Amino acid sequence: MLVGIRAYNLISYIRNLKREHIILLCIFLLAVLFRFYNLGQTPLYFHQDEVMNGYVGRFVLLNGKDIYGNSWPLLYFNRFGDYPPILPMYLSGIATFIFGVNEFAVRFPSAFFGSLLIFPAFFLGKLIFQDFKTALFSSFIIAIFPWHIVLSRATAEGILGLTVFFVALLMILKGIKEKNRSLVLFSLIPFFITYFLYPSFRVLTPLALFPTPFLIGKNTKRIRAVLIGSFLIFTLLTLMIAFTTWGKGRFLQTSVFSNQDIAKSINISNAALSNDEGSNSVFIARVFHNKITGYFNILSSQYLSYFSTEFLFTKGGLPFRYNVPDQGLLYKTVFFLIIAAFLPTKKKINKSFFSYLIWLLLIAPIPAALTVDDVPNVHRAVFMILPLAFLAGLGLANLEDFLKYKYKSISLAIVIVMIALTFESTYFLHQYFAHEASVKSILRNGGDKELMLFLKNNKTSFSKVIMPVYDTLPLYYLFYTNDFNKSHAGQFGKNIVISKIGNVGFADSWCPSKTINAKNLPAKTLVIDDGAQCVDFGGLKKIKAITRKDGTVAFVLLAK
């Protein structure tokens, strides 16, 4: 009886839903399908950043300390002077208590938050375009974006930040439109949270807040004062963090301005061009050939690379582990939809908000353009996804108006675009699920999991194990043996190195067989060498090779 009443209430609720909300729910379910299908197995291999997130997050939650012995870190976890935010690690750690210590659990937060982006995107689209259909189109585009799908399935912290950031944007723009000061003030909370999800938002937040005072109408001095104050507060916060050791750590490692090779290249180029001006043109040489112009050329080149068709539609970017074979970050159909966004339209678009959308697109690549590591970088430029999706959604709506021919109320433009997107998304999904593992085996630490499972299943067969300490192998071992013992806290050194865990020793070499004397090894000792870098095994015999899906050898297992 009770079940029947609940079923009736559910059916009544669904019937009372507006048509747009039912469609939005279907789009959300599509997004969930694309991000959660076979999530534990695809990507096939568990990247070292993923295992670090899952292990460190759960370790702290269990023991109240991180692996370096720091009690309840709130801001960061220092791996090798990069200081990544620890909040995403906590989220992955929490998921392991729900789903177990496995790949699915670690990837769950980014896949879940990636799916949730559909909702703030829809309501933000309605706010900008003042049309539910255009907002639905934009949400649909996000649901099937290859760029967003791949990052959502790969424990990318930027995906978490992106969803929270656009919740903040929705709140602040809605507050501006409705002249609701409380809503504007509450938007500062999610803006603040993004600072501790992904470092790029420490640059993007002040830039995004900068034009907001100009979006407000007359007779709203108090709200304008709040917006100006918010911009100043977050600018100050960004500067304060930038001067801390943990705030500037990763930027100094990847910044254009701290890269010695770039500085040397600029000096050599300026010297050559200055000499070419002649000895009587010292002033001209200083004006045109200096460090300012050198860095400007590099920064502008990197910035513009994020708007190239190669980056967006054909080849993709870096790190290569995020690439899908023969697939760009966006579907080629989206290219034409973005162009169509600028067709003349009769839609009552909020012009100031639409101008703000263009501003968001223009500032989106700035954090990525300031770095030289893995450029153009698909993760650091993750903020570009939503403005591009909005433009594509508007383009689809414009095409529907432009091609007015309909058959039984079905727009010809919608049919054509949906056929094209269906074909492209089918191709993308095939390339991703069928070929992702084989082309990225090495880049995603292929073989590490297989090695640890072999050791786990054969732990009684060996009295001692010696393996390399690099690429987070100690954490792989602890993760797959489900070892979160508090005694490990404080035993790790910088870059997650440790000398010993139980009967497993870690050598400061990819080829431990070369650094030890085989004659002095106790019986039943297993030595593990890297499969690519080690050739001479120092008198030890090869008993097993662990290979990746692409056929390359990950590790060679040796014994006396």
Of 276, 275, 270, 272, nearest in space to 289 by CA? 270
Which of 174 and 520 is assigned the larger pLDDT? 174
Residue 104 predicted with pLDDT over 90: yes
Mean pLDDT calculated for residue range 176-190: 94
Which of 292 and 211 is assigned the larger pLDDT? 211
Contact partners, residue 279, CB within 8 Å, separation at least 6: none
Mean pLDDT calculated for residue range 144-160: 96
Characterize 437-460 residue by residue with b for buried, 16 or more Cβ atoms within 10 angstroms of its Cβ, and e for exposed: bebbbbebbbbbbbbbebbeeeee
Q: What is the pLDDT of residue 8?
A: 47
- Provide φ and ψ at 501, rounded to 5°: -135, 105
pLDDT in tens, 131-151: 899 999 999 999 999 999 999
How far, CA to CA in Å, does 113 sit from each of 47, 91, 104, 107, 108? Answer: 20, 11, 14, 10, 8
Confidence of residue 410 (pLDDT cuts 50, 70, 90): low
Confidence of residue 533 (pLDDT cuts 50, 70, 90): confident
Contact partners, residue 1, CB within 8 Å, separation at least 6: none
Mean pLDDT calculated for residue range 534-559: 89
d(CA 91, CA 99): 12
Mean pLDDT calculated for residue range 180-206: 95
Q: What is the pLDDT of residue 399?
A: 87
pLDDT in tens, 336-384: 999 999 988 777 888 999 999 999 999 999 999 998 888 899 999 999 9
Percent of the chain with pLDDT over 90: 66
d(CA 495, CA 487): 19
User: Which neighbouring-strand residues pair with 529?
Assistant: 556
Mean of per-residue pLDDT scores for the chain: 89
Provide the 8-state DSSP code for 78.
Answer: -
pLDDT in tens, 195-250: 999 999 999 999 999 999 999 877 678 899 999 999 999 999 999 998 888 887 77
Residue 523 predicted with pLDDT over 50: yes
Provide the 8-state DSSP code for 540.
Answer: P
Confidence of residue 251 (pLDDT cuts 50, 70, 90): confident
Residue 273 predicted with pLDDT over 80: no
Percent of the chain with pLDDT over 70: 92
Cα 436–Cα 149–Cα 391 angle in degrees, nearest 5: 130
Residue 14 predicted with pLDDT over 80: no
Which of 469 and 252 is assigned the larger pLDDT? 469
Residue 16 predicted with pLDDT over 70: no
d(CA 12, CA 7): 9
Of 360, 367, 352, 355, nearest in space to 384 by CA? 360
Residue 481 predicted with pLDDT over 70: yes
Q: What is the pLDDT of residue 12?
A: 52
Residue 61 predicted with pLDDT over 90: yes
Q: What is the pLDDT of residue 13?
A: 47
User: What are 394's two structure tokens?
Assistant: 């508007």
User: What are 125's two structure tokens?
Assistant: 């689209």
Q: What is the pLDDT of residue 374?
A: 86
Q: What is the pLDDT of residue 73?
A: 94
Cα-Cα-Cα-Cα torsion 177, 387, 118, 56, nearest 10 degrees, comes to -110
Residue 44 predicted with pLDDT over 60: yes
Give the neighbor-by-neighbor strand order of the sheet with 504-507.
500-501, 504-507, 464-468, 525-530, 553-559, 541-547
pLDDT in tens, 297-341: 888 999 999 999 999 999 999 998 998 988 999 999 999 999 999
d(CA 269, CA 217): 50
Mean pLDDT calculated for residue range 177-193: 95
As a three-state string, the secondary structure of 421-471 is HHHHHHHHHHHHHHHHHHHCCCCCCCCHHHHHHHHHHCHHHCCEEEEECCC
Cα-Cα-Cα-Cα torsion 337, 340, 341, 347, nearest 10 degrees, comes to -120
Q: What is the pLDDT of residue 11?
A: 52
Residue 33 predicted with pLDDT over 80: yes
Of 325, 383, 357, 25, nearest in space to 201 by CA? 383
